[in-house]
Structure 1
Amino acid sequence: MPQFADDEFVLADGTDARLLPKVLLHDHLDGGLRPSTIIELAEEVGLDLPETTPDRLAQWFAESADSGSLPVYLQTFEVTVGVMQTAQALRRVAREAVVDLAADGVVYAEIRWAPEQHLRRGLSLDDAVTAVTEGFAQGTEEAAASGREIRVQQLLCAMRQADRAEEIAELAIRHRALVAGGVCGFDLAGPEAGFPPSDHSDAFDIAAEAWLPVTCHAGEDGELDSIESALLDARALRLGHGVNIVDDLEIGGEDASGTFVTLGPVAQWVRDRGVALEICPSSNLQTGDAEYLGDHPFDLLYQLGFAVTVSTDNRLMSATLPSLELVRLADEFAYDLDDLEVFQLNAIDAAFLPVEDREQLADLIADGFDEVRR
């Protein structure tokens, strides 16, 4: 990962955001590799890289991803996916992801990835998932040995532009487990425009019949009907990004009481049902959802009562960490610790965990924030 200065993690009140316990719902395994690891793995498999030093490679990823276009942004994954084609590489990347997140104060994470993209060197789908499960377990143990407790689960993604969604849904069901690093849900990822969730309705039927929770990339690059399809066809309990829900808001005039906002039927449903929005602010700026952070709809959605959560999407491509996303939002919208705690509690409410586990996690978050406040 890029090197960050310590002062980048400091909130306006002087709190180091790394000390805050955090919950992460939207983080891609192939978007969070350490640049040094990419270089080492690329040498092992003979893959040419655009840069050959960690700092310059990290800069290349950030600059290439900062395109204003989701399809162009996704092209950077050819490099990371290219070095993640063996069980050994998958275990290493998974282990390091857990260690890096734990070092940033994350106590619970659901990390997503697409097994179908990691079969070029002979791995089966099941072999790939087993390797990542092992890597997550190793990372959890390594973090615990350094005094940092973290729990990690997998979300398996099907690529919406491909035709293996049913197979991936069945794969997720086979590997579903509440063990360290186990699979907890199903997702649809990839270029959104032109590939609605309804194209894969059979896969979502398979997940529903097995009571497997579903989140779905929607409202990042597609129209409002992509969100509708995620809710209706995918039966999504959360929306990956979901920021384009603002297209179903009508913002009127102002008076002494504030600005008038009318919610359309989709936005009304999402807000009233508490469907969590897995918002990734830095990534959204890179793919053109807003020109600058102050123009991002995050605060509008928060003020309107939507269940907003804060995630990283791709830590490498967006040159970010969970703590940095919180600092950037707090600086832009004058959020305090109470606001940042709400975002964590929203994420816990939406986590694919049994209610008893979510209650314990909520207590952990509350205790951690209280400790920082003292």
Structure 2
Amino acid sequence: MTGPANVPAPIPPTLGELGRAPKALLHDHLDGGLRPETVLDLAHETGYTGLPCDDATELAAWFRTAADSGSLERYLETFAHTVAVMQTPVGLERVARECAVDLADDGVVYAEVRFAPEQHLDAGLDLDRVVDHVLEGMRAGESEARARGRHIRVGVLLTAMRHAARSREIAELAVRFRDRGVVGFDIAGAEAGNPPSRHLDAFEYMRDENAHFTIHAGEAFGLPSIHEAIAFCGTDRLGHGVRITDDITVAADGSASLGRLANYVRDKRIPLELCPSSNVQTGAVDTLENHPFDLLARLRFRVTVNTDNRLMSDTSMSREMQRLAETFGYGWSDLERFTINAMKSAFLPFDERLEIIDDVIKPGYAVLLG
């Protein structure tokens, strides 16, 4: 990772330098990345009166503080406000457009952004129209970024809420739109009491259609959630997966012993969509210093860096990389590896993944590595 103990650790890149690095993002929630100003604007336009304040700076601070609870369930409560203002065609398209632009401005060249269509039906839209408007917004954002000299490709993941009973319907929706910008399927929400195996029919349908999916597992709940996601549901990736460390024993000398499940995840190269800042906020880990990202990276799991919810965590891909670099002493070669890990794991055809790696990511890091 960072070389022998007698070799000085690399100087952590600055935020400005990181902004120029090409990045790939696999785990970002559309309803968790709104600009505070947009939340206020859409609330005023739609007549939503539930916001805790009417100032963008104060609202940003409120989201960050409210999400900083150490509980996934309380963390998820903050989404009531963002989802409330994402019920109209105008709102959905604006949020999606700004998402693509903001990610591109941060140097993200490929992103998979997820959202739950079933949560955006309050104003009379149906599921297909919800997806249509989000995809239209994403394409507009890609075009806007391109006009400003930034190039990004955004794929959409359709999420089903694990406490609800619409997962098969959302899986069918994902397949219906897979040639129009939807690249996969996901389930999300509180893990405890809502195991992934409750949604087996949705995952069986996705496999039957040769379609990609990821599962939120191993964030607030431990190994049983990860085991079910892999063994019963056949997930391609693990959303978070941080609790895989429950199956890893680290000795006093630093050596690690992997249990059967951890070995299987590593052997099969199952990608871990790790979200460091969010994992601290939800209580999956207590501090960034104790985050198992570095352990998993040193053990050569396929770790990826992700934002989860940029508004709630007051973060970006550049900030997540900076925090990891400052905490664990990573240099450009480490960050390049994590980025290539993500691009290898994207829900794109192989040749398209390879093209982004060879033509965008590697040349971009070659410049930074000097």
Q: TM-score range by the shorter chain?
A: over 0.9
Greater displacement, 233-242 / 122-131:
233-242
Q: Where does 1:77-226 land on structure 2 (aligned, <5 Å)?
A: 77-177=79-179, 179=180, 182-226=181-225
Query: How far off is 1:87 after superposition?
Result: 1.3
Distance 1:113 1:82 in 2: 13
Q: Which of 363, 368, 371 matches 2:364?
A: 368
Query: How far off is 1:253 after superposition?
Result: 3.2
Q: 1:319 matched to which residue of 2?
A: 314
Query: What do the CA deviations read for 1:145-190 (whole angstroms, capped 9, x no partner)?
Result: 000000000000000000000000000011112x5xx100010101
Q: 1:283 matched to which residue of 2?
A: 278
Counterpart residue type for residue 105 of structure 1: G
Any conservation in 2 of the 1:204–1:233 contact (CA below 8 Å)? no
Q: Where does 1:23-38 land on structure 2 (aligned, <5 Å)?
A: 23-38=24-39
Any conservation in 2 of the 1:38–1:80 contact (CA below 8 Å)? yes
DSSP-derived class of the 1:192 partner: coil
Question: Normalised by the size of structure 1, how large is the TM-score?
Answer: 0.94
Query: How far off is 1:234 after superposition?
Result: 2.1
Over the aligned positions, Cα root-mean-square deviation in angstroms equals: 1.0
Any conservation in 1 of the 2:13–2:325 contact (CA below 8 Å)? no
Q: How many residues align?
A: 357
DSSP-derived class of the 1:158 partner: strand
Query: How far off is 1:124 after superposition?
Result: 0.2
Query: How far off is 1:249 after superposition?
Result: 0.8
Distance 1:260 1:149 in 2: 42
Any conservation in 1 of the 2:29–2:115 contact (CA below 8 Å)? yes
Any conservation in 1 of the 2:25–2:342 contact (CA below 8 Å)? yes
Distance 1:126 1:301 in 2: 39
Query: How far off is 1:260 after superposition?
Result: 2.3
Query: How far off is 1:194 after superposition?
Result: 0.9
Distance 1:234 1:222 in 2: 17
Q: Where does 1:209-248 land on structure 2 (aligned, <5 Å)?
A: 209-248=208-247
Any conservation in 2 of the 1:113–1:155 contact (CA below 8 Å)? yes
Moved over 4 A (4+): none
Distance 1:127 1:153 in 2: 17
Greater displacement, 19-28 / 358-367:
358-367
Counterpart residue type for residue 330 of structure 1: A
DSSP-derived class of the 2:341 partner: helix
Query: What do the CA deviations read for 1:83-131 (whole angstroms, capped 9, x no partner)?
Result: 0001111011000000000000000000000000000010000000000
Q: 2:3 matched to which residue of 1?
A: none
Q: 2:5 matched to which residue of 1?
A: none
Query: How far off is 1:13 after superposition?
Result: 4.8
Any conservation in 2 of the 1:214–1:234 contact (CA below 8 Å)? no
Query: How far off is 1:372 after superposition?
Result: 2.1
Distance 1:373 1:261 in 2: 31
Counterpart residue type for residue 85 of structure 2: V
Distance 1:151 1:215 in 2: 19
Query: How far off is 1:250 after superposition?
Result: 1.7
DSSP-derived class of the 1:188 partner: strand
